[in-house]
């Protein structure tokens, strides 16, 4: 069966994605050694493994064996330079020998174990792999990897880099001996070359209409990246496109201004078909919804009608349903890149989804009772889950395998939270304990509180300074994470069970939800209430703060997810559609969508409108 380009990418992208980006490293990892120190270490390796290196010159099998020996021996080396050199030589030898997986494992080790790893290391590795004598299977893997790397280059507007990688895509495509894949690869390269040419023209002639239009259409119509493309469209040859883009860039604030911009895009949409038509309709909806958000009186009639009209005609743009759980869906979380959604539920399962399409990728089994809490590590490599079987389980997202467990809680675990560095996990349970765990050693390191009330929710501030635990009696206690001392308490939930707590990015403000139906905002240091969001008819089960800190999403048993302005407390949007109460919610990293998990077994993805200044409720 011929290898199809899209299928290959879906199959191996998750396996190799870690190697094509510069990964975040912990602060205590060493800096990349100086070039002279690395070269000295390489010379030492060549002396020690002289025979292996000599054999590797003529024998591909020997080259792969040496790469494996260096890779496995790297962690044992005493100096940073020797460890770096061992991984780097393993990477180079594996790549030229055609061992794709080992080359990428070595690249990943360099990227994660050393700070300041050269940015072009991934591209160099890909080039080496492209020159290697690869089997069709390895070529397919390289093709997917190179394509992801090329798209990443385009995403950061590195057009020259995209062309270099695009050529590698074509080379890898040829090795698959599939004409359809080759044709698609050549099409990608042609697009990258045209964009490179356009940006080179703009550097010389900033107002060149043809070049600006080419870039503007690519970013807005093809990629949906209006933030990047509008500045180019504003200088395009098309007067209508340029006018609409210019008005859009002016950041309209009043309902009249927002509606005028929406009308321009809506009218332009009639001149296009297919994906381009949908992009324009989508942009028109954003501005109609923005107009509705600030409209007063009769001003809301036209944008309100258009919003309903567009949402009815293009429902998939605004509400996507993920089906698969056989019991209530309890919680949702996204990987840092926003591509993968993880959900947990009362069917004892952990499920992995494509966040864009809603396609179920895999189901992780191991829990023996309901699963209610899930967090993902900052590097996106591990999932941590817990629930009714009293066991905290750690999973490898790439393989779907359970890699560790943390046992100690005697009754159901109700909440999980991770520190920003991903090193410490905090858990709260019905056994009346709140515990901290070292995620690397999976050992308990500390306990908080007096063990008198059931812990129903936990969180930890971004700086790791405070641990917050909400109990079944309506009180949230703030602890000093290091000492365990009580810093403050918040007891304004009328004695009702506290289901959810989140904190602002600066760690100064907490937001909590409980059986009392309101969303409470209060000061972490003093426990003083700052404001309340009123509107839900039933208990609030989950809260999420948008990435920019401006909006709060609340999930309730009243079957709605509501979006609130964090500063003013105004309700801006109410999402309805679930047929039962909602337990979980989260924002996408770009803040454009929210997800919800419900007792009706469904997970839904909802589109957020723009919210200009002077926000008002959007029905």
Neighbours of 534 (CB within 10 A): 11
- Identify the domain containing residue 258 by its residue range: 220-317
- More confident call, 292 vs 5: 292
What tens digit of pLDDT does each residue of 478-528 get?
999 999 999 999 999 999 999 999 999 999 999 999 999 999 999 999 999
152/130: higher pLDDT:
152
Which residue among 174, 202, 230 closes a domain?
202
Q: Where do the H-state alpha helices sit in 100-236?
A: 100-113, 121-131, 136-155, 159-175, 179-204, 209-217, 226-233
Contact (Cβ atoms closer than 8 angstroms) between residue 351 and residue 598:
no
- 124-133, 411-420, 442-451: which range is least confident on average? 124-133
Is the model's pLDDT at 10 over the cut of 90?
no
* 114 and 142 share one domain: yes
How does residue 100 score in pLDDT terms, banded at 50, 70 and 90?
A: confident
Give the model's pLDDT for residue 320. 87
Residue 346 shares a structural domain with residue 289: no
Predicted local distance difference test score (pLDDT) of residue 167: 84
Report pLDDT for 615.
47
Same structural domain for residues 358 and 431?
yes
Claim to verify: residue 269 and residue 398 sit in the same structural domain: no
Looking at the fold, whether 261 and 380 belong to one and the same domain comes out as: no
In the predicted structure, residue 291 carries a pLDDT above the cut 90: no
User: Final residue of a domain: which of 271, 295, 317?
Assistant: 317
Percent of the chain with pLDDT over 70: 91
- Does the structure show a pLDDT above 80 at 158? yes
Burial class (CB in 10 A: 0-12, 13-18, 19+), 421: middle
Do 60 and 11 lie in one domain? The reply is: yes
Instruction: Return the SS3 of 33.
Output: coil
118 and 82 in a common domain:
yes
Please check whether residues 54 and 182 belong to one and the same domain: yes
522 and 556 in a common domain = no
**Contacts for 614 with CB less than 8 Å, ≥ 6 apart:** 253, 294
Q: Compute the average pLDDT of residues 534-561.
A: 96
Mean pLDDT of 366-380: 96
Task: Identify whether 184 is part of a domain.
Answer: yes
**Which stretch of 129-143, 267-281, 364-378, 523-537 has the lowest confidence by average pLDDT?**
129-143
Query: Does the residue 209 lie in any domain?
Result: no
**Residue 211 within any structural domain of the chain:** no
Residue 389 reports pLDDT greater than 70: yes
Domain assignment of residue 208, yes or no:
no
3-state SS of 325-375?
Answer: CCCCEEEEEECCCCCEEEEEECCCEEEEEECCCCCEEEEEECCCCCEEEEE
Q: Are residues 300 and 347 in the same domain?
A: no
Q: What is residue 616's predicted lDDT score, i.e. its pLDDT? A: 44
Task: Write the pLDDT tens digit of every residue in 212-237.
Answer: 999 999 999 988 889 899 999 999 99
Is 255 strand, coil or helix?
Answer: helix
The reply to whether 323 falls in a domain is: no
Burial of 189 (0-12, 13-18, 19+ CB in 10 A): buried
| Neighbouring-strand partners of residue 543 | 554
Query: How many domains are there within the chain?
Result: 4
pLDDT of residue 612: 63
User: Given this model, what pLDDT does residue 29 score?
Assistant: 64
Res 73 pLDDT > 50: yes
CATH code of residue 603: 2.40.10
Please indicate, yes or no, whether residues 530 and 552 belong to a single structural domain of this protein: no
Residue 210 domain-assigned (yes or no): no
Q: What is the pLDDT of residue 119?
A: 66
pLDDT at 125: 78
Residue 415 β-bridge partners: 428
pLDDT of residue 483: 96
Asked if residue 212 is part of any domain, the answer here is: no
Phi, psi of 327 (to 5 degrees): -140, 180
Among 521, 539, 557, the domain boundary falls at 539
Domain containing 336 — which CATH number?
2.130.10.10
Assigned domain for 471 exists: yes
> Are residue 84 and residue 165 in the same domain, yes or no?
yes
């Amino acid at each position: 069966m011929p290898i199809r380009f899209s299928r290959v990418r879906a199959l191996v992208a998750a396996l190799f994605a870690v190697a094509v980006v510069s990964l975040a490293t912990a602060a205590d990892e060493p800096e990349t050694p100086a070039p002279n120190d690395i070269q000295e270490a390489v010379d030492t390796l060549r002396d020690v493994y002289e025979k292996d290196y000599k054999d590797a010159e003529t024998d591909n099998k020997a080259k792969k064996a040496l790469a494996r020996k260096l890779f496995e021996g790297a962690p044992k080396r005493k100096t940073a330079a020797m460890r770096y050199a061992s991984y780097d030589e393993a990477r180079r030898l594996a790549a030229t020998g055609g061992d794709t997986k080992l080359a990428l494992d070595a690249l990943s080790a360099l990227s994660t174990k050393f700070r300041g790893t050269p940015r072009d290391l991934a591209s160099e590795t890909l080039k080496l792999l492209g020159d290697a004598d690869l089997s069709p299977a390895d070529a397919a893997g390289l093709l997917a990897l190179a394509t992801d790397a090329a798209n990443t280059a385009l995403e950061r507007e590195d057009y020259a880099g995209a062309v270099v990688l695009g050529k590698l895509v074509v080379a890898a495509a040829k090795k698959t001996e599939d004409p359809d894949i080759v044709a698609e690869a050549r099409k990608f390269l042609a697009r990258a070359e045209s964009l490179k040419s356009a940006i080179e023209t703009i550097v010389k002639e900033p107002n060149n209409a043809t070049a600006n239009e080419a870039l503007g259409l690519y970013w807005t119509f093809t990629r949906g990246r209006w933030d990047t493309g509008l500045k180019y469209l504003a200088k395009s040859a098309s007067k209508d496109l340029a006018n609409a883009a210019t008005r859009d860039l002016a950041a309209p604030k009043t309902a009249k201004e927002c509606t005028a911009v929406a009308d321009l895009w809506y009218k332009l949409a009639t001149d296009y078909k297919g994906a381009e038509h949908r992009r324009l309709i989508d942009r028109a909806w954003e501005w109609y919804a923005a107009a509705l958000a600030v409209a007063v009186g009769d001003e809301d009639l036209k944008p309100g009608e258009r919003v309903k009209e567009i949402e009815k005609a293009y429902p998939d743009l605004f509400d996507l349903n993920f089906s698969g759980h056989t019991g209530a869906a309890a919680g949702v979380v996204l990987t840092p890149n926003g591509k993968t959604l993880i959900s947990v539920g009362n069917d004892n399962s952990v499920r992995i989804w494509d966040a864009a399409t809603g396609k179920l990728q895999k189901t992780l089994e191991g829990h023996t009772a309901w699963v209610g809490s899930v967090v993902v590590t900052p590097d996106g490599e591990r999932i941590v889950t817990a629930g009714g079987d009293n066991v905290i389980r750690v999973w490898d997202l790439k393989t779907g395998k359970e890699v560790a467990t943390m046992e100690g809680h005697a009754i159901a675990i109700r909440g999980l939270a991770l520190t920003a560095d991903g090193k410490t996990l905090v858990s709260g349970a019905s056994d009346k304990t709140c515990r901290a765990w070292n995620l690397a050693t999976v050992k308990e390191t500390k306990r908080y509180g007096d063990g008198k009330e059931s812990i129903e929710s936990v969180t930890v501030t971004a700086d790791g300074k405070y641990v917050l635990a909400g109990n079944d009696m309506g009180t949230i206690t703030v602890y000093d994470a290091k000492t365990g001392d009580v810093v403050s308490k918040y007891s304004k939930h009328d004695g009702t069970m506290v289901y959810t707590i989140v904190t602002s990015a600066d760690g100064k403000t907490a937001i909590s939800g409980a059986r009392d139906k309101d969303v409470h905002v209060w000061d972490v240091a003093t426990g003083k209430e700052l404001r309340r969001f009123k509107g839900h008819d039933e208990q609030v089960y989950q809260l999420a703060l948008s990435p920019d800190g401006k909006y709060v999403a609340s999930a309730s048993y009243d079957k709605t997810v509501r979006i609130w302005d964090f500063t003013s407390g105004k309700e801006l949007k109410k999402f309805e559609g679930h047929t039962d109460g909602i337990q979980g919610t989260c924002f996408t990293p770009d803040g454009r969508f929210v997800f919800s998990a419900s007792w009706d077994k469904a997970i839904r993805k909802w589109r957020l409108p723009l919210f200009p200044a002077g926000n008002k409720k959007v029905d």
